[in-house]
Amino acid sequence: MARVEVKQLLEAGVHFGHLTRKWNPNMAPYIYMERNGIHVINLYKTVAKLDETNEALKKIAASGRKILFVATKKQAKDIVAEKAANVNMPYITERWPGGMLTNFVTIRKAVKKMASIDRMKKDGTFLTLSKKERLQVDRLRAKLEKNLGSISEMTRLPGALFIVDTMREHIAVKEAQKLNIPIFAMVDTNCDPRDVDYLIPSNDDASKSIDIIMTEVTNAVAEGLAERKAEKGDSEGKSDKKDKGAKKKAVADKPAPTPEKVDTKPAPVVDKVPNVEVNVEATKEAVANDTKAEADDLTKVEGIGPKAAEALVAAGIATYEDLSNGDAEKIKEILTEASSRMAHLDPTSWPKQAKMAAEGKWDELKEWQDNVKGGVE
């Protein structure tokens, strides 16, 4: 992916911040200077943070999790809807429905209601209703489509949230924090960067600025999806080759027809079997090194974001089996030591989820994750 240049960001007006009197002091490290009563954002830091964000989003997309894009302000609506739809990701551009994440079960019921109305129209049940009832159902369908149509394909909680303007979408931020969902955001000089996991210091009011950042972000997501597709294709190709190889081997190993006369002469007895020395310690070490090299994607466990996964791998918990044997209290200590911002994470259910993943019970794991909130029972 071609890296965005500072000149392109400058032309799009990404460097314009808010009035100095509206600033948030926590944004000081990302502010370059003040001119005519307006703060100017340091675009070199924007580029660095954008690269970091793109890498993390790419990993999440490659893992098969959905990324929910949120932008309800007028100048961002159409841009976010178009870009998110291009990469087949859910988005919210109308009013944020309260409890969208924390009360996801109820939101899913509303989406299912929309699907049931569509079924009524297909099977002819809709026509049996009176004119007034048909009008009411049509209005309800239009309302649900407007608010929830873009998330109709989202059957479980998203793997991450991408927000344009955290001040405006503060309810979405709070809900994601409660459920340990990683937050990616365009953060202006009047916002608090401590609320998000991955920030992009940028102008979140100008449509050109939003467009260039969204283009870069969705390109990274598209790359992640392409990687996942390629991996799936490779694994399917390998399994097909294995099946063909096994069939060929079975044909080759098929015993030849036995002749009528069989020689019953006993085989010669070997007096001494040569002693073969096996270095057990070396073998164990080799097996341990092989296991260590194969690290699992821990972000598939509900509640573990990219940064939490990095902290666990650094502490020696690299596979689902390691995590399933881990103690929740010990995991909590590892996360808190790695970063104080991960102290709020609740790893109680992580060993249970990791056990299902280690045993290959993916359908059971998905069903369990769909029925709980953010991996917290």
Please state, in angstroms and rounded to a whole number, the distance separating the CA atoms of residues 234 and 15.
43
Domain ranges of the chain: 10-95+157-228, 102-149, 295-377
Question: 314-323: long-range contacts (C-beta < 8 A, 24 or more apart)?
Answer: 314/338, 318/292, 319/291, 319/294, 319/295, 319/358, 320/296, 320/354, 320/355, 320/357, 320/358, 321/354, 321/358, 322/354, 323/298, 323/350, 323/351, 323/354
Radius of gyration of the chain (CA): 28
- Residue 245: predicted pLDDT: 59
Tell me the two tokens of residue 334: 């590892």
> Could you tell me which CATH class the domain 102-149 is placed in?
mainly alpha
- Residue 30: predicted pLDDT: 92
Q: Which amino acid is at 178?
A: K
- Whole-angstrom distance between the N-terminal and C-terminal Cα of the chain? 39
What pairing do the DSSP bridges indicate for beta strands 91-92 and 67-70? parallel
For residue 275, give the DSSP letter. Answer: P
Q: Evaluate whether 52 touches 216 at the Cβ level (below 8 Å).
A: no
Per-residue pLDDT of the chain (377 residues; tens, 9 = 90+): 567 888 999 999 998 998 989 898 999 999 999 888 999 999 999 999 999 999 999 999 998 899 999 999 999 999 999 999 999 999 999 888 888 899 988 888 888 888 888 888 888 888 888 989 989 999 998 888 888 888 888 888 899 999 999 999 999 999 999 998 999 999 999 999 998 999 999 998 999 999 999 999 999 999 999 988 888 777 666 666 666 655 666 555 555 554 454 455 555 544 444 454 545 455 545 544 554 446 788 888 888 888 888 888 888 888 888 888 888 888 888 888 888 777 778 888 888 888 888 888 888 888 778 777 656 66
Q: Which CA distances in Å does 316 have to 229, 282, 313, 357?
A: 29, 21, 5, 18
- Residue 235: predicted pLDDT: 67
Q: Which CA distances in Å does 96 have to 174, 180, 303, 370?
A: 12, 19, 22, 21
Q: Which CA distances in Å does 42 have to 200, 229, 245?
A: 11, 37, 58
CB atoms within 10 A of CB 321: 16
Please state, in angstroms and rounded to a whole number, the distance separating the CA atoms of residues 357 and 313.
17
Q: Evaluate whether 161 touches 67 at the Cβ level (below 8 Å).
A: yes
Look at residue 16 and give its three-state secondary structure: strand
Residue whose C-alpha is closest to residue 147's, from 104, 107, 106: 107
List 135's β-bridge partners, or say none.
none
Tell me the two tokens of residue 289: 């090194």
The CATH superfamily label for domain 10-95+157-228 reads Glucose-6-phosphate isomerase like protein; domain 1 (3.40.50.10490)
Q: Which helix (H) or strand (E) holds 185?
A: strand 183-187
Tell me the two tokens of residue 35: 């001119």
- Residue 293: predicted pLDDT: 47
Tell me the two tokens of residue 325: 């044997």
What pairing do the DSSP bridges indicate for beta strands 183-187 and 160-164? parallel
Look at residue 143 and give its three-state secondary structure: helix
Look at residue 184 and give its three-state secondary structure: strand
HSE-CB at 282 with a 13 A cutoff on CA atoms is 3
Q: Cα-flanking dihedrals φ and ψ of residue 42, to 5°?
A: -75, 105
Please state, in angstroms and rounded to a whole number, the distance separating the CA atoms of residues 218 and 133.
42
- Residue 184: predicted pLDDT: 95
Q: Cα-flanking dihedrals φ and ψ of residue 198, to 5°?
A: -130, 115
pTM score: 0.65
